[in-house]
Amino acid sequence: MIAKLPKLRELSLIHCGLSNHFLHSFKPSNFNFSTSLSVLHLSQNSFTQSMIFQWLSNTTSNLVELDLSGNLLQGSTSNHYGNICTLRSLDMTRNNMIEDLPSILGSLSSGCARYSLQELSLAFNQITGSLPDLSVFSSLKRLDLSNNQLSGKIAEGTRLPSQLEHLSIRLNSLEGGVPKSFGSTCTLKSLDLSHNKLSEDLRVIFNHLSGCSRHSLRELHLGQNKFNGRLPDFSMFSKLETLDVSGNQLKDGVPKSLHNATILRILDLSNNSLSENLPTIIHHIFRYARYSLQHLDLSMNQISDTVPNTLSMFPSLKRLYLDSNKLNGTISEDLQFSTELEALYLSSNSLEGVITDSHFYNMSNLRELGLSDNLLAIEFSQNWAPSFQLVNIGLRSCKLGPLFPKWLEKQNEFSSLDISNNGISDIVPKWFWTKSELPNWININISLNKLRGIIPDLSLDNHFYYLNLRSNQFEGHIPSFLRGSMYLDLSDNKFTDSSWFLCSSSATETLYQLDISNNKFSGQIPDCWTHFKSLAYLDMSQNKFSGKIPTSMGSLLELQVLLLRNNKLTGEISSSSLRNCTKLVMLDMTGNRLSGSFPDWIGSKLLELQFLSLGSNYFNGSLPLQICYLKSIQLLDLSLNNLSGQIPKCIKNFSSMTQVTRDYQGHWYLANTSYIKGNVSYNLNAFVMWKGSKQMFTNTGLSLLKSIDLSSNQLSGEIPKEIENLFGLISLNLSRNHLTEKIPSNIGKLTSLEFLDLSRNQLVGSIPLSLAQIDRLTVLDLSHNYLSGKIPTGTQLQSFDTSKYEGNVDLWGPPLKKLYIDRLSKQEPIVKFDKEDNFIFYSEFYKGMTIGFVISFLGVFGSILIIRSWRHTYFKFLSNLEDTLYIMTTMKIFKWWLRS
């Protein structure tokens, strides 16, 4: 059929799933359109670079527009495209090109296309290198290099094409400033340098751009960089309509004089350090951009004072963002907003007062309302019917209760609703649950209230994407229609029956996260898990579930998180229940009554495990060697069990613990379930014994924590020296076991260690000198062992309380005050002296003096010579006195020697 179209000028094969095989068989040379084709769209297929070159060999004579976006192009572009002399538009967006930019542009500019090319897009690739001189493309009007890996500084002499109108280099890693040559392009209308690492005083940047481009520039995007200083007078750009300097390091406020900014439509100053008061900023903008301004974003700054009444004087204002500042004071009863307003955000401030329906008079265009996290009271009339239909509603932590807001009944277009922590103490009306049938997926958060009653079991087509009912007083059974949610949090309520919800006959392929923790569930866990095809996160903690873990849980093949802690589960963890859940990242069954030997299949089957907590149970036997297969393990808690035997030396295979990870900016976990399109995330939490108490770690904190807790078991033998290789270990608790031998001598290699408890074992020998090298150590307990010798000198070890060393009778040195002599001095019995050291000497001395005086006075010397018994007594006394003096003197000298 195509062969019958000799004058075909445009061919579009967009998103057809075609590959090289199609191009190889569908040769344009076989058809009459080979020389007439001018527009060719081959985007969103699986073509490669080499096949494209071959296929285009006979279609270049009249080709004007070529779209190759979304294919598998990579490597060099060669000079093929550069030789298409008629080519005006070339789109190679979203491929896998990894060459450096100077080579790519050099290849394109080597042919005649350098004179014809007007539009070039290389966005969303992996292009590296720095930004070269672009002036060689004399006809280029639009250039998109965004979302690549460009780096380095832009050279001062870098010139832009003389006819360039639009330049985007956003989402790269460019550094330094903007060269002055950029301001010499008199046709430049849009410049986007956002999301880079540019760092210069913004006033210098504006001066560089104030050449002839200041008369043409309409859009200037400099957001998400590291520009500093004050916001310059941007009114020098006489045609500027959009200015985005968000996410920088600007301070102070808005310039007073903006006399040329009379056509400014969008002004984004968010996420800086602006500290001027809001009425002043509004006044400066009001004087010049009163009639033109449509979008004003001042969020995430340090702007103070209250919301002025002059906001209603901006007749064209459609979007106003003042959230996350330091606004305070009382909202005036007379405050009015522009009737054109579509989005209003005042969240996360300290505003007070009462918001009534009169504040929204005649605002029929309002679509987004954010008042969360203030001290506001929301008092809408009970029968108020707003003239607007909201899409996003954020009223978290306002005073909305005690009645459930009836005005929401008429809101039928919202996709996000947050009325959590609003002091609502009421029964949720039936009409609210029917909102689940709205056509779009809905995010609803009504947690942290006092909502009560039984949720009716309705026959509804559920479109709740996110439904959070946490921390209320719902009771009874969980209705089955909630199964259609994707994220469902029912924790901290009074639900008692889960069978309706879990054992419904219909399968669900949407629910990926379910939290029913901290409720009133009891009895055995229902054995009805085969229908939950996409479940990735399940939390049933803090209930009274008993009996064995049901075998049908083994059908949860997408499960990544299973939390069953603090229930009354018994029996063994059988291989038939969970061994097929090979995607498990976290398994927490702490605080149950589980027994039997430690399951060896956990190590051999659950190879993705990062967090394993089985503490406070009745597991016995030794640790199997298979546990060392858990290379990704970061948290291992088997404390408070009856485990025996030795700690396996193969723990050196815990690869994740050998890596030091610090200072993460953020962390989240993705549920890559095959039943849900796209990635969905979930939050992790775990209770860890930390610095003497159970503490909860979540997400980022948990991802940084690397911990082993084997305390309160019956483990014996030595602490394996292989533990010295776990350099990333932050917490190690081996206390209350029967461990013997010495502490590993190189334990100081664990430089990340903050918590170390080896107390109440049978460890011997001295404290390793290397332990004093761990400067991050904040908790240490070595008490009640058989350690000996001097405590190594180091500020860290001397800073701990003496109780952390007690029970080691042969241990001495600071911080211990008690002085111990070494084993050499123990070979002979030694008398200890205190304040009564001289008592024997002085008593014998004075006795001798007294007897001598009496005898001398009576002329004893003569009697001694006559009476034999007296003579013997006297000489015996002298002998005893001599011995006493000798012993006292010797001990004094020995004591002085010890102290020295």
| Cβ neighbours for 412, distance < 8 A, ≥ 6 positions apart | 389, 435, 438
pLDDT of residue 619: 97
Backbone angles phi, psi at 785, to 5 degrees: -130, -160
User: What distance in Å separates the CA atoms of residue 638 and residue 622, rounded to the nearest whole number?
Assistant: 12
Backbone angles phi, psi at 451, to 5 degrees: -70, 140
pLDDT of residue 371: 97
SS3 475: strand
pLDDT of residue 836: 40
User: What distance in Å separates the CA atoms of residue 326 and residue 302, rounded to the nearest whole number?
Assistant: 6
| Token digits of residue 666 | 């953020």
What's the whole-number mean pLDDT along residues 602-608?
Answer: 93
State the CB neighbour count (10 A cutoff) for residue 565. 22
**pLDDT higher for 2 or 83?**
83
The stretches of 257-375 forming alpha helices (DSSP H) are 278-289
pTM metric for this prediction: 0.81
Q: Which amino acid is at 865?
A: L
pLDDT of residue 1: 41
**Looking at the predicted structure, is the pLDDT value of residue 767 above 90?**
yes
Half-sphere exposure of 435 (CA within 13 A, CB side): 24
SS3 449: coil
User: What distance in Å separates the CA atoms of residue 158 and residue 152, rounded to the nearest whole number?
Assistant: 13
Residue pointed to by tokens 């001027």: 276
Residue pointed to by tokens 């190879």: 607
SS3 130: coil
What's the whole-number mean pLDDT along residues 650-676?
Answer: 69
| Token digits of residue 140 | 């280029």
Q: What is the DSSP letter of 14?
A: T
**Which residues partner with 786 through β-bridges?**
764
pLDDT of residue 114: 84
User: What distance in Å separates the CA atoms of residue 244 and residue 270, rounded to the nearest whole number?
Assistant: 9
User: What distance in Å separates the CA atoms of residue 268 and residue 231, rounded to the nearest whole number?
Assistant: 12
User: What distance in Å separates the CA atoms of residue 763 and residue 785, rounded to the nearest whole number?
Assistant: 5
User: What distance in Å separates the CA atoms of residue 881 and residue 65, rounded to the nearest whole number?
Assistant: 122
Measured at the CA of 572, the angle between CA 568 and CA 576, to 5 degrees, comes to 115
pLDDT of residue 824: 38
Integer angstrom CA distances of residue 291 from 218, 262, 282, 295: 17, 8, 13, 12
**Looking at the predicted structure, is the pLDDT value of residue 517 above 90?**
yes
**Looking at the predicted structure, is the pLDDT value of residue 23 above 90?**
no
| Cβ neighbours for 223, distance < 8 A, ≥ 6 positions apart | 194, 195, 244, 245, 246, 247, 248, 268
pLDDT of residue 896: 56
What's the whole-number mean pLDDT along residues 398-417?
Answer: 93
Work out whether the CA dihedral 189, 192, 197, 200 comes out positive or negative. positive
**pLDDT level of residue 874 (50, 70, 90 thresholds):** low
pLDDT of residue 825: 45
DSSP state letters, 346-373: --SS--EEEEEGGGGTT-TT--EEE--S
Lowest mean pLDDT segment, chosen from 10-19, 41-50, 445-454: 10-19
The closest of 22, 23, 26, 19 to 1, measured between CA atoms, is 26
R_g (Cα) of the chain, nearest Å: 40
**pLDDT level of residue 834 (50, 70, 90 thresholds):** very low
**Which residues partner with 593 through β-bridges?**
570
User: What distance in Å separates the CA atoms of residue 828 and residue 63, rounded to the nearest whole number?
Assistant: 106
The closest of 836, 858, 860, 850 to 881, measured between CA atoms, is 850
Q: Which amino acid is at 464?
A: F
| Token digits of residue 104 | 């790519």
- The DSSP H or E segment spanning 249 is strand 249-252
pLDDT of residue 647: 97
**pLDDT higher for 742 or 234?**
742
**Which residues partner with 120 through β-bridges?**
90, 143
CB 711 within 8 A of CB 700: no
pLDDT of residue 743: 96
Mean pLDDT, all residues of the chain? 85
**834: region left, alpha or beta (phi > 0 left; psi from -120 to 50 alpha):** beta
Classify residue 607 as exposed, middle or buried by CB count within 10 Å of its CB (0-12, 13-18, 19+): middle
Length of the chain, in residues: 900
User: What distance in Å separates the CA atoms of residue 635 and residue 640, rounded to the nearest whole number?
Assistant: 16
**pLDDT level of residue 382 (50, 70, 90 thresholds):** confident
pLDDT of residue 53: 77
Residue pointed to by tokens 């309302």: 369
User: What distance in Å separates the CA atoms of residue 511 and residue 676, rounded to the nearest whole number?
Assistant: 9
Q: What confidence tens digit (pLDDT) does each residue in 707-733 have?
A: 999 999 999 999 999 999 999 999 999
**Looking at the predicted structure, is the pLDDT value of residue 823 above 90?**
no
| Cβ neighbours for 823, distance < 8 A, ≥ 6 positions apart | none
**Looking at the predicted structure, is the pLDDT value of residue 830 above 50?**
no
What's the whole-number mean pLDDT along residues 307-336?
Answer: 92
User: What distance in Å separates the CA atoms of residue 117 and residue 241, rounded to the nearest whole number?
Assistant: 28
**pLDDT level of residue 510 (50, 70, 90 thresholds):** confident
| Token digits of residue 797 | 């070890």
Q: Which amino acid is at 859?
A: G
State the CB neighbour count (10 A cutoff) for residue 882. 10
**Which residues partner with 547 through β-bridges?**
569
pLDDT of residue 79: 62
pLDDT of residue 595: 96
Q: What confidence tens digit (pLDDT) does each residue in 41-51 have?
A: 888 888 787 77
SS3 223: coil
- Taking the alpha carbons at both ends of the chain, their separation in whole angstroms is 109
**Looking at the predicted structure, is the pLDDT value of residue 576 above 70?**
yes
CB 371 within 8 A of CB 355: yes
**Looking at the predicted structure, is the pLDDT value of residue 115 above 90?**
no
The closest of 797, 780, 779, 778 to 789, measured between CA atoms, is 797
